[in-house]
Amino acid sequence: MKHTLGVFHDRQQAGRELAEELERYRDQENTVIYGIPRGGLPVAYEVASALHLPLDVYVVRKLGMPGHEEYAIGAIASGGVRVLNEEAIGNIFHASDIIESVAEREQRELERRESLYRGNRPLHDPRGKVVIVVDDGLATGSTMRAAVAALRQHGAAKIVVAVPVAPPETVAELEAEADEVICILEPENFMAVGQFYENFSQTTDEEVTEILARADEEFGHRQE
């Protein structure tokens, strides 16, 4: 490992190290990189740049239980996909009403972000492609699991989850759902993603749009 004591300097370094683990995908046709906003975009940009692959943003919004928002009862994703946690909603009174209310609110935020990040550009179609989904790290993995399920519904041929850090149990859960999981650090003593970065400042909407614009300008990577 190039980082000291299991800590990355920043998302850019983490992305460069992640790209080394994905070297076999360099210049592969029919392969696309999706960054999960917001913090996943700086990491995904470094991966896409190093591997000479298309870059796009894949927006996923968790559906949190009202009053306990960290408890995911489902998620929605780019392309109109909805994924529900059937186990989580099985014990909720009036679950359908709650889901519709939460989903309506999160759909507005998803559309706001998609419009802001992508403008008029359509989603880079994942159908029949190898897709590499990148985030800056995972805790419970609920958002990434939603992204994997949504991309399955979109018809992706192979789904690779690639992250710098995640707890072992989250990696194991994702290995049962994705076709491949690449994770540099799997610390047992995991409390939060940010503890494994020296610089974990929040990525802004403006930074996401700037990264995508830079990708377009430098290597034209968000093509239909």
Mean pLDDT of 86-110: 84
Give residue 220's pLDDT: 61
**CATH numeric code, 11-59+125-217:** 3.40.50.2020
| pLDDT, tens digit, 9 for 90 and up, residues 199-210 | 999 999 999 999
The model scores a pTM over 0.85: yes
Q: Percentage of residues in the chain with pLDDT exceeding 70?
A: 94
Higher pLDDT, 197 or 96: 197
Check whether 221 has a pLDDT greater than 60: no
pLDDT in tens, 84-97: 877 777 777 777 88
Confidence check: pLDDT of 155 > 50: yes
Q: What is the pLDDT of residues 51-66, one digit of tens each?
A: 999 999 999 988 888 8
User: What's the confidence (pLDDT) of residue 5?
Assistant: 58
pLDDT for the residue 157: 98
Compute the average pLDDT of residues 33-53: 96
The pLDDT tens digits for 4-34 are 457 999 999 999 999 999 999 999 999 999 9
Q: 140 falls in which pLDDT band (50, 70, 90)?
A: confident
Q: For 35-40, what is the mean pLDDT?
A: 96
**Could you say which architecture CATH assigns to the domain 62-117?**
2-Layer Sandwich (3.30)
pLDDT at 106: 93
- Domain ranges in the chain? 11-59+125-217, 62-117
The confidence score (pLDDT) of residue 91 equals 72
| Nearest alpha carbon to residue 136 among 47, 50, 220, 70 | 47
Over residues 130-156, the mean pLDDT reads 92
The pLDDT assigned to 67 comes to: 80
